[in-house]
Structures are given as C-alpha cells and as structure tokens.
C-alpha cells in the first residue's frame, strides 16, 4: 500500500519561500506520476504540479509556473515542492499525490493521497 507523508508546511509572509517534502513508501515508483494538489477553504481542489518519477518530466499549473519547482529524489523516495514568491492566494492545504498513470495526477484524479500540510501566507 502506497503511503505518502507530507512535511514542511507553515506560516510565511508574502514574498517568502517554503519547501514541502513528501516521503513515499509502500511501492516501487518507477513509472509513477507524483504531484501536489492544494485546496483552500471554499475553493475547488487545484492541481499544482506533477512529475514523472522515472524521467523527471514535469507539469505545472499556470498559477505555479515561474514560482514553484517540483523535483524528486529517487534514492530517498521523496518528492519536493519548492515555493517562492508566495502570495496570500497560495494559502491552502497542500496534498502529495501519486498514481501509476501520470495523466491521472495531471488530471486531478490521483489514486494515492497524503493527509496534507497547511501552508498559510500572510499578506
């Protein structure tokens, strides 16, 4: 059973940076897609970024392009989301997700989810 555990959320001022980490276990992730979703109160869930575990190919939502970077460390089975130039509208619970189909991650229908980590950006 795939398990995903997020860390690194917190409170940061607008313009600041945070790095989220996601430790993955319980599977062989070759061929998987991994990613980050977020959901703010009263808003729809949003796909933030995704990465192909094997090739490192990436996808970013328009809201993340130029500010966020997704990466993975295959030796540590860990996925990262580096977030820079944070804005108040980035405030949300961020979820690490995974699927054996990259398109599912990009499409918002990943099979496996972590419990989420809160990111709060004060303006």
User: Taking 90 as the threshold, does the pLDDT of residue 33 lie above it?
Assistant: yes
- Average pLDDT (42-66) is 97
- Please name which of 73, 78, 114, 119 lies closest in space to residue 97, comparing C-alpha atoms: 114
- Average pLDDT (15-20) is 98
- Please name which of 13, 9, 22, 21 lies closest in space to residue 85, comparing C-alpha atoms: 13
């Amino acid at each position: 059973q795939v398990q995903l555990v997020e860390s690194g959320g917190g409170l940061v001022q607008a313009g600041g940076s945070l790095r989220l980490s996601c430790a993955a276990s319980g599977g062989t992730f070759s061929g998987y897609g991994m990613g980050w979703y977020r959901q703010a109160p009263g808003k729809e869930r949003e796909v933030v970024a995704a990465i192909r575990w094997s090739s490192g190919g990436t996808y970013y939502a328009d809201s993340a392009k130029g500010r966020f970077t997704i990466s993975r460390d295959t030796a540590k089975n860990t996925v990262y989301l580096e977030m820079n130039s944070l804005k108040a509208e980035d405030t949300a619970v961020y979820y690490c997700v995974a699927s054996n189909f990259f398109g599912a991650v990009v499409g918002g229908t990943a099979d496996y989810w972590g419990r989420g980590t809160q990111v709060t950006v004060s303006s």
